[in-house]
Amino acid sequence: MRSLSIHSVIYTLLLVLLFGDAFGQQQQAFSKRRQDALRFMQQAEMSMRGGNFNNAYDQYTAAIETDQSYAEAWMKRALLLQRMGRYQESLLDYNRAIDLNPYSEIYYDQRAKLQLLQSDFKGAIVDLDKALELSPYDNTLLETRAIAKLEGNQFEDAISDFNFILELNPKDTLTYLQRAITFTRMDDYEAALEDLSQALQLNPSSELVYDVKGLFHMHFGELEEAMRSFDRAIEINPRFYLAYYNRSVLWKRLGEIEKSKSDLDVAISLNQDFPNAHFNRAIANKMLGNDKEAIDDYNKAVAIKSDFTEALYNRGVTKSMLSDYGSSLSDLDLAIESNRKDPELYNKRGNMKAFFGDYMSAIRDFDMAIKLKSDYAEAVYNRGITRMMAHNQMEGCRDLHRALDMGYIRADEKIRYFCTGIK
């Protein structure tokens, strides 16, 4: 260490001799920029603690403008933007932070978590691979990568990661549960049950173990056993909102919509910021004929998760049932804006436009759906029906014949009724 210190002094002296005072002035300027940026960062942290996100954003931006090379400032603003639901801007900031500091596993891990939120599982796995190159035995990174592989349907790879985690820590209850979920997704009943038994042996009074056990039994159609497991989870911890949520799904599957809604009421009372609970309660309200209550819940789901495509779409459909065409169409526009490559959304918006008589615009949506998915028989059928409604029987019948050739059986009746002699 002493030798390194002496060499640093000699190196600095050589720079001064070679470049005169310019080097020292440059160092001082850099130091001043970083100090000023640090002050803005401290102010931003204070704003964050006070819940003033807009002010925190301004302070992080000031830090970045003061010192463009300050990777941590980019990183902090990325985290804030992610928390605010501004995912695209957040990703750009993560990219810049990693460009400036490509040797931080934390940066790759945080960007991976944002990609998981956006269902970009491949991108998340790439980042987690890089993070694990820097920190190969980090259990948290291994677990996150395994979950990304699970969500991306790379089941065997996920199992490999869970196996490695259990080699490092053979008494990790949570990893047994996660591996059990993976085996359940693979329809491997015996392997999943074995992992659940191991988790119960390690932690027999865990509400989480019983909750996952309930999901396992529900997946394999053992509904009475699933109900007992969810009941036991709630008995152990009456404030465990996930068990109420999962039991509500089971009640819905059993056709008990009122009981499903009742469990969702409890889940939401325990966790107001759970978008899926608001979404499912909206569906329950819709099934019970409570359209206005359903819209309120869709509003809450979207407020928590601004790019919640299904909530936006369903809210739009519900509004259309209340004859609020303009607002319902705006919701579908927002849904498509959040996922421009989803052919189903264009097909659904086309149906809504056709329902309200906007045939030409509907046909353009069906065109886009078919462009994105060339074998989308339902969209071809819908375009055919819409063309006929727009008095273009020839093109409409051609679409119906094409849809039938693609295996869309509903087209057969319409062809026999409307298209005799037209091919």
Q: pLDDT per residue over 212-259, tens digit each?
A: 999 999 999 999 999 999 999 999 999 999 999 999 999 999 999 999
Residue with the two structure tokens 């009943």:
189
Is the pLDDT reported for residue 12 higher than 90?
no
Q: How far is 407 from 88, CA to CA, in rounded Å?
A: 39
d(CA 312, CA 315): 5
**356 in a domain, yes or no?**
yes
Residue 252 lies in a domain: no
Q: What is the distance between the alpha carbons of residues 244 and 227, in angstroms, rounded to a whole number?
A: 11
Report the CATH number at residue 350.
1.25.40.10
Alpha-carbon distance of 253 to 390, in angstroms, equals 40
Above pLDDT 70, what percent of the chain? 89
Quick one: which of 279, 287, 341, 285 has its CA closest to 313? Answer: 279
* pLDDT, mean over the chain: 87
- pLDDT-wise least confident of 126-130, 176-180, 283-287, 336-340: 336-340
Average pLDDT over residues 248-274: 95
Contacts 24+ apart (CB under 8 A), 65-72: 66/33, 66/36, 66/37, 66/40, 67/33, 67/34, 67/36, 67/37, 69/100, 70/34, 70/37, 70/100, 71/96, 71/97, 71/100, 71/101, 71/104, 71/107, 72/41, 72/97
The answer to whether residue 359 sits within a structural domain is yes
Q: State yes or no: pLDDT of 379 exceeds 90.
A: yes
- The answer to whether residue 370 sits within a structural domain is yes
Least Cα distance to 154 among 124, 113, 195, 199 occurs for 124
Within 10 angstroms of residue 9's Cβ, the number of other Cβ atoms is: 9
More confident residue, 165 or 305: 165
Ranked by mean pLDDT, the top range of 83-97, 224-238, 297-311 is: 224-238
Q: DSSP letter for 373, please.
A: -
Rank 4-13, 14-23, 147-156, 339-348 by mean pLDDT and report only the highest: 147-156
Contact indicator for 366, 392 with CB cutoff of 8 Å? no
Burial (CB count within 10 angstroms: exposed 0-12, middle 13-18, buried 19+), residue 383 = buried
Q: Say which range, 7-11, 104-108, 287-291, has the weakest mean pLDDT.
A: 7-11
Distance between first and last Cα of the chain: 86
How far apart CA 30 and CA 38 sit, in angstroms, is 12
Question: Do residues 284 and 252 touch, judged by C-beta distance below 8 A?
Answer: yes
Which three-class secondary structure state does DSSP give residue 307? coil
pLDDT at 23: 47
**6: pLDDT strictly greater than 70:** no
Residue with token string 């939120």: 117
Range in 222-236, 348-362, 389-403 the model is least confident about: 348-362
CB burial string 43-63: b at 16+ within 10 A, e below: bbeebbeeeeeeebbebbebb
User: Residues 168, 132: contact at Cβ < 8 Å?
Assistant: no
366 is a domain residue: yes
The average pLDDT across 30-41 equals 83
pLDDT of residue 25: 52
**How high is the pLDDT of residue 1?**
43
Q: What is the pLDDT of residue 157?
A: 93
Residue 304 lies in a domain: no
DSSP conformation class of 135: S
Residue 61 scores a pLDDT above 60: yes
What's the pLDDT band for 341 if we cut at 50, 70, 90? confident
Residue 106 CB neighbour total at 10 angstroms: 14
Q: At CA 145, angle to CA 142 and CA 150, rounded to 5? A: 125
Q: Tens digits of per-residue pLDDT, 116-175? A: 888 889 999 999 999 999 999 888 899 999 999 988 999 999 999 999 999 989 999 999
What predicted TM-score, i.e. pTM, was given to this entire model? 0.68
Q: How far apart are CA 112 and CA 118, in angstroms?
A: 10
Number of domains composing the chain: 1
Say whether pLDDT at 16 is over 80. Answer: no
Q: Look up the domain containing 358 and give its range.
A: 340-423
Q: Is 291 within a domain? A: no
83 lies in some domain: no
Distance of CA 364 to the CA centre of its chain: 29
Report which DSSP code applies to 340: T
pLDDT band at 416 (very low <50, low <70, confident <90, very high): confident
